[in-house]
Structure 1
């Protein structure tokens, strides 16, 4: 089997999903699920028979043992999965009657904040095409933040393309200055960014107009911007300097019965990576990524809901474009 062409970097954590809608103060019970933005992306790719390298740090506590087993069960190579005695990050999810979600994180100085990119040698970077950073927890704390920035810098030195999802969770950051400086630094090392108008609100890149938002990001570094729009689909905007040239395309998404949106954005990013690594057009990439994200909302929990290629094909066949 050939070595992976993609390396995903970021956290692996526990999502506690509420038994009923409402604020955390009113939720009496939760179900434990494996999660983490990067873990969702990596496992989604593995469902397409395209298992990536996965750079993450998992705790040696009981939750970490559970997470390590999940990664193994999903066929992810363990070469860059490290373990440490720092606690597992716990994310408690709450949602209202309209399915709008909020996250409360526990785990100061967690295993995710001790991700070590030095375990990825330059020889591996010589043979991969894409590095994906989807790490809201890891980027928000040192030493993981510096480790990920160094990884992106080394990736660019080895002609690897970098994909990034800001996935901003402002409650995780020590202050706005650190958040904005980190976004500046990562965008300067990024080729493709996946985000939304809402996610970048309050930053120097923010704009309610998607075209202007993309222009702001182009000036910061990326040449291609994927903008998700929830049930309304997505849009891809590329600058002249992108490998595929200037492009502005949209896809309306797919009509499904959503149950839980946890992990849908990560699933979308995995679909983008899978298609771009396969040399597909931005039109085809949007269609595929939207189908992956839509199917992920039809079951509870991110990882359990991630579809395989057959399910994506079936949805697209049932909803001709």
Structure 2
């Protein structure tokens, strides 16, 4: 039976420009394309999971402004439930300024989190029943940490599996880590958190041991074009990435995390789920943008069958 998924995290409006090269300090570059659309790590992951077939409750916080309508319009178009959104009367909806190098697909991003950085304890308590009914909680570090701590605590007390994506990277308390079932840093985040440079499977294994010592049950370290390193207490493996021509890597990690939780909720084991997530991310990086780049379940299945 498919389990419900709660994605708790950020929403920002992405303001994306493609440019021949990323500007250096003091340089103005004439861009070739501009797009505005829904984004934020939490929202991207929620949409990715929803389009991949998961039964998703998306929880984030918006302002009372025009940018909030970007979130609502996207959710209504995708037929996502909007009943668990919070609103701030005082703080604006978040935004992200994104520059993408059209030659290398590398990016630079500035995020102003706005309302989703001010989710209160009472707001989290108001969704306790929805958390309890979920099979999986997927969250990140792009909302205020106090809210992340509280939602993880409620999930853990009710037997809900907790997946923590450690982006944007910042210190995480041992109290949080010991409640995490699956942690999903990329290689840079893993190095910052553990102090171990991830340049081989051996070093990834050492980083995984650091997380295990903190009480984390399973470790997935995404390695970009090299794939993903997975470690449980009994098994370790690098699952290679699909070889594709990336045109925009913005949101690739979000695509992976959304695919991972969707596959787990559908009953796949961790290894199968990681392969599914790799496929979702491989499709997404061949498209422009973040949320708009996320593929449907049918597209993912067709991609896997053809590769």
TM normalised by structure 1 equals 0.85
Inter-partner Cα distance in structure 2 for 1:204 and 1:19: 34
Aligned-residue offset at 1:4:
6.4
Matches within 5 A, 1:218-233: 218-233=212-227
User: Is 2:196 the partner of 1:197?
Assistant: no
Cα deviation digits, residues 62-112 of structure 1 (max 9, x gap): 1112222212222221221112131122211124442222211235xx111
The answer as to 2:129 corresponding to 1:130 is: no
Q: Which has the higher contact order (CA 8 A, sep 6+)?
A: 2
Give unmatched runs, 5+ long, in structure 1: 139-143, 170-178, 240-245
The 2-side partners of 1:249 and 1:263 are apart by 24
2:278 corresponds, among 284, 287, 290, to 290
Supply the distance in 1 between the matched residues of 2:211 and 2:197 (Cα, whole angstroms). 10
1:119 paired residue number: 126
* Cα distance, 1:298 vs structure 2: 0.7
> Does residue 235 of structure 2 align to residue 235 of structure 1?
no
Q: Could you say if the C-alpha distance between residues 277 and 33 of structure 1 is closer, same or farther in structure 2, counting changes exceeding 3 Å?
A: same
1:231 deviation in Å?
A: 1.3
2:279–2:304: 8 Å Cα contact kept in structure 1? yes
- Which sits farther off after the overlay, 3-12 or 62-71? 3-12
For 1:159-195, what per-residue CA distance to the aligned partner results, in whole angstroms no more than 9, with x for missing partners? Answer: 11100001125xxxxxxxxx32x35343222110111
Between 1:226-235 and 1:155-164, the stretch displaced more is 226-235
> Structure 2: which 5+ runs fail to align?
none
User: How many residues get paired?
Assistant: 293
Are 2:15 and 2:35, in contact at CA under 8 Å, matched by a contact in 1?
Answer: yes
- C-alpha distance in 2 between matches for 1:64 and 1:284: 36
| Aligned-residue CA RMSD (Å) | 2.1
1:243 equivalent in structure 2: none
* Aligned pair partner of 1:90 in 91, 95, 99: 95
- TM-score normalized by the length of structure 2: 0.88
Give the equivalent residue in structure 1 for 2:18. 19
Q: CA deviation at 1:28?
A: 4.5
SS in 2 for 1:23: coil
